[in-house]
Amino acid sequence: KNEVEQSPQNLTAQEGEFITINCSYSVGISALHWLQQHPGGGIVSLFMLSSGKKKHGRLIATINIQEKHSSLHITASHPRDSAVYICASHMNRDDKIIFGKGTRLHILP
């Protein structure tokens, strides 16, 4: 059974700080998603990656397939980055997606 674990569960930081959110999964996957959910509920896909690293603006996502681990980094964090960040793994053997519980990020001005 695939389990997806995220850490930390909650993170409060000052504006400008470098943020790292971690995600570990237990079985082989075909891809990993990072999602963002703002208060008010809409969910937006940030990245989908199966190897290496992707960058979009101040956001960077990395994945290490051997270690079954992914990280989401935010550089020069801003209060508008405050949201819940959810990691989700796309399993190899079927098309199921398993979600982590999310990391609640709060950036203070």
Partner 1 sequence: DAGVIQSPRHEVTEMGQEVTLRCKPISGHDYLFWYRQTMMRGLELLIYFNNNVPIDDSGMPEDRFSAKMPNASFSTLKIQPSEPRDSAVYFCASSLNTGELFFGEGSRLTVL
Interface contacts to partner 1, rule CB under 8 A? 30-31, 33, 35, 41-45, 48, 86, 88, 90, 94-102
The CA distance from 106 to 74, in Å, is 12
Phi, psi of 81 (to 5 degrees): -80, -10
Nearer to partner 1, 4 or 19 (CB): 4
Q: How far is the CB of 103 from partner 1 (least distance, A)?
A: 11
Q: How far is the CB of 93 from partner 1 (least distance, A)?
A: 11
The CA distance from 42 to 65, in Å, is 29
Q: How far is the CB of 87 from partner 1 (least distance, A)?
A: 11
Residue type, 94: D
Please state, in angstroms and as integers, the Cα–Cα distance from residue 56 to each residue in 7, 25, 45, 60, 82, following that order: 22, 23, 12, 6, 17
Residue of 75, 105, 107, 81 whose CA lies nearest to 10: 105
Q: How far is the CB of 101 from partner 1 (least distance, A)?
A: 5
Nearer to partner 1, 13 or 31 (CB): 31
Nearer to partner 1, 2 or 17 (CB): 2
Nearer to partner 1, 12 or 45 (CB): 45
